[in-house]
């Protein structure tokens, strides 16, 4: 009985899926990048290969992502909600742009109406992290999409 109780306590005390270290494995110009919305090339090089660690009471990593006292919240985002609505905003400016195709360029493949887990941090940097799958996440910053793998 004690073993069952210990197992139950461990299951309920498990860390959320996003807790841990995530390495930035790629940085590419965002699908919405344009002559007006240019990717920050030096920042792309600087962040590539860096690690972001989500901890219960802080986010450690490069200054762009670091945060003390995050207020984590996981929501389900449709295509229009990914990257602070940039796919939808691009579509509103140019009706020929398909938000789902733009999302697929960034690794978010799914059927119409698909949703992806988004980690809102509540930090001043306003970065949201979108999960392509349990081991892969992406975030947008300065017209660049950064992809991370869980370590």
Contact at 8 Å (CB) between 88 and 99? Answer: yes
Backbone angles phi, psi at 60, to 5 degrees: -100, 145
Determine what percent of the chain falls in helix, strand and coil, rounding each to the nearest 5: 25, 35, 40
Higher model confidence: residue 97 or residue 5? 97
Higher-pLDDT residue of 148, 113: 148
pLDDT for residue 15: 85
Instruction: State the average pLDDT over residues 71-88.
Output: 95
- Tens digit of pLDDT for each residue in 106-136? 999 988 889 999 999 999 999 999 999 999 9
15 — phi, psi (to 5°)? -70, 150
Residue 13's pLDDT is what? 58
Q: Where are the alpha helices (DSSP H) in the chain?
A: 2-12, 41-47, 86-93, 99-105
pLDDT of residue 146: 98
- Find all residues with CB under 8 Å of 87, minimum gap 6, and list them: 31, 32, 79, 80, 99, 102, 103
User: pLDDT digits over 4-63, tens only?
Assistant: 444 444 444 578 999 999 999 999 999 999 999 999 999 999 999 999 999 999 999 999
In angstroms, rounded to a whole number, what is the distance separating the alpha carbons of residues 77 and 5? 36
Number of Cβ within 10 Å of residue 125's Cβ equals: 13
Whether pLDDT at 2 is above 70: no
What is the residue extent of each domain of the chain? 15-150
d(CA 20, CA 31): 28
| pLDDT score, position 1 | 53
Return the pLDDT at 37.
92
């Amino acid at each position: 009985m004690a073993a069952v109780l210990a197992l139950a306590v461990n299951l309920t005390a498990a860390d959320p899926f996003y807790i841990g270290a995530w390495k930035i494995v790629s940085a590419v110009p965002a699908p919405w990048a344009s002559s007006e919305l240019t990717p920050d090339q030096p920042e792309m090089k600087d962040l590539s290969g860096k690690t972001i660690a989500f901890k219960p009471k802080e986010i450690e990593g490069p200054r762009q992502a670091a945060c003390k006292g995050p207020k984590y919240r996981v929501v389900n985002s449709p295509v229009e909600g990914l990257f602070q609505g940039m796919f939808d905003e691009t579509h509103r400016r140019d009706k020929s742009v398909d938000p789902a195709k733009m999302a697929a360029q960034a690794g978010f493949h799914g059927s119409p109406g698909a949703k992806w887990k988004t980690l809102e941090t509540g930090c001043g940097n306003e970065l949201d992290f979108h999960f392509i799958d349990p081991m892969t996440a992406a975030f947008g910053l300065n017209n660049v999409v950064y992809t991370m793998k869980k370590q």
